[in-house]
Structure formats: C-alpha cells, structure tokens
Amino acid sequence: MKLIVHGGAGNITDFAIRVPGLVKACKIGYEILKSGGKAIDVVQAVVVEFENNPYFNAGTGCVLNIEGEAELDASIMTDDMKAGAVAGIKRVKNPILVARKVMEETDHILLVGEGAERFARIMGFPKYNPVTAKSKERLEKDIKKLKMGKNTTERYFPKIKKLIDEYGTVGACAMDKFGNLAAATSTGGVIMDLPGRVGDTPIIGAGTYACKTGAVSCTGWGECLIKLGTAKFVCDSMKTMSPQAAVNKAIKLIGGMKGDAGIIALDKKGKIGFGFNTPKMLWAYVDENGKIQHCK
Ligand code: ASP
C-alpha cells in the first residue's frame, strides 16, 4: 500500500498554513488504504479533500481567470487504462467526482465547459459556485499589478507567466493492497488565464497518467507539461529507471524549456519519487512504517 500526494508547487505563499491541509488529505487517503479501499477511491478522496479546502488551487477558492470566473479542470486514471476528465467546468464543487463519472458512465474521456456541466447535472451534482471573496480579491490585486506593467501583451501567455509564481494544483497517486495503481489531479488553472484556456491537468498523459508501470500526477506550467506529455513520459521512463530518476529526468527537460514543474510518481513496486524546479512544493507521502512524511 502506497500513497503520495501534492498540493502544488511554486513560490508558495501561506506555505505553513497549507501544510496541515496537505497532511490531512494524505491521512484521509491512508485511512482508506488501510481499511482495504481501492486505489481509485483513495486518490479521489484525497483530491476531494483538497478541492474542499480553500487554501488549495482546486475546487472552492481556486484561482480565477481574467474574467473572474473559476474554470475547473480535473482527471483521474487507473492502471487498467480507464480514464475520465473534465475541463473548463464552472459550477461544480468537486470536479474530480465529475471526472470519475465521465470515466464510469460515458464512452468518452474528456468533457469540457457547458457540456461537462450539463453532464454533471444529469449525474446529480448540484450547482455550486467555487468563487470565494478571497479568490476575487487576489485576482483584483493581480489585475491591478498587470495594469501597472508597461507591456500590455503580458495579459497573454506566455508573457503573463512572468507574473505567476505559484502553482497550486492538487494530486495523488496510490497503490492499494491488491497492487492496483491510480492517479488523480485537480486544478483551477493559472490565475488570470484566458477564458477557455486548458492546461495539463485534464489531459491524460500530460497532468495525470496511470498504467501497469506506475502512476503520476503533475503541477506547474501547464503549457510545458503538455508539450512533454509529462505524466506519460514519467510512466514510460519508470520502465527502466526508478520513479525518482524518472521524475528528475522530466524536471530537467521541462527546465530546459524554461518551464516550471512539480511531479509525484509511484511505480508498481511501491517506490515513490517526487521533484520540482520551483522554490517550493507541497508534498506528502506515507513511508514504510505508515508514517506521513511531508514538506516543512
Ligand atoms: N498545471 C496547472 C495548469 O497549468 C496549474 C498548476 O499546476 O497549478 O493549469
């Protein structure tokens, strides 16, 4: 039984305030593992806990796009190649639960925007506004900063990236007592992104991947993570190297693109790896003795 989780990477403000939430999410997942739960239920429960905590950039309190809307992305995958994802969904509390429904109740992998929301309603998820007063205030501050800048094209990627120093996506990789692997990731994207922008998180193979080799969840600058097909790249690399070496290899390549990344990985032997090229990353895992190790 193994579990590794992340709460994003970057120049994270409120780091110390977020650590208890990170540990709590990891604990919740570990309890499910110990009671014989399946890997998919574990990663889902961890991500739901993060989505409900306004200190993380997923679900309630996530960062807002340039028009002040929360556009949520999430994906989930198991090692039997089943996957589900939603992108740009606006009025739901837990996008990861909708992603799981896409996986189990449709013939598709990814639903976006309005269609994803309509599907969520059909599946019984009520309307919910994930925007908080704090997330609005933060956007207003950042827009003010942007307006004071000289280069107005900074409003578009990649230049806007210079203003962004924090990636708060959440994710988890788990292996249950049956040896099954699963990964899940959820995000509000990058602050001030353009409406309709989709990052790596809901893209199977970019932000999330699971197969018989291992499970991976990523955070960071989505455009770079997509270009490398990062989660799949790390999974493929784990065929011939340790999860740590695979993560290091991916981080080096992303660094070469001047991108930012934080990655967690778990292989079929239960070995973990994690790494980041940002100033900080919120990570936690359960060690061989059942103790939660986490960032300080
Ligand atoms: N990877 C996410 C995205 O680009 C952002 C993050 O990790 O916080 O949408």
Clarify whether 278 is annotated catalytic. no
Chunked into runs of 10 residues, the chain (296 residues) has average pLDDT values of: 96 90 98 98 98 96 92 98 98 98 98 98 98 92 72 47 67 98 96 90 98 98 95 98 98 94 97 96 97 97
Domains and CATH numbers, the chain: 2-294 (3.60.20.30)
Return the pLDDT at 168.
78
- Atom of ligand 1 minimally distant from the CA of 221: 4
Task: For ligand 1, atom 7, name the residue with the nearest CA.
Answer: 219
Q: Decide whether any atom of ligand 1 lies within 6 Å of the 190 Cβ.
A: yes
Q: Between vectors from CA 286 to CA 280 and to CA 287, what angle results, nearest 5°?
A: 105
Return the pLDDT at 149.
66
Return the pLDDT at 156.
42
Rounded Cα gap, residues 194 and 280, in angstroms: 26
Task: Write the CB contacts of 104 (distance below 8 Å, at least 6 apart in sequence).
Answer: 82, 84
Return the pLDDT at 144.
78
Return the pLDDT at 112.
98
The alpha carbon of 168 is separated from its chain's Cα centroid by a whole number of angstroms, namely: 8
Return the pLDDT at 164.
55
- Atom of ligand 1 minimally distant from the CA of 73: 9
Q: Decide whether any atom of ligand 1 lies within 6 Å of the 200 Cβ.
A: yes
Task: Write the CB contacts of 261 (distance below 8 Å, at least 6 apart in sequence).
Answer: 9, 218, 219, 220, 221, 224, 225, 230, 250, 251, 254, 255, 276, 277, 278
CB atoms near residue 162 (< 10 Å): 10
Return the pLDDT at 126.
98
- Three-state DSSP at 35 gives coil
pTM beyond 0.75, yes or no: yes
Task: Write the CB contacts of 88 (distance below 8 Å, at least 6 apart in sequence).
Answer: 71, 72, 73, 112, 113, 116, 196, 198
Q: Decide whether any atom of ligand 1 lies within 6 Å of the 248 Cβ.
A: no
Return the pLDDT at 192.
82
Whether a cis peptide bond, with omega within 30° of 0, leads into 158 is yes
Active-site residue, selected from the candidate residues 169, 185, 230, 278: 169
Q: Decide whether any atom of ligand 1 lies within 6 Å of the 75 Cβ.
A: no
Bridge partners (DSSP) of residue 219 are 262
Q: How many helices (H) and strands (E) does the chain have?
A: 8, 13
CA of 8 from ligand 1 middle (Å) equals: 8
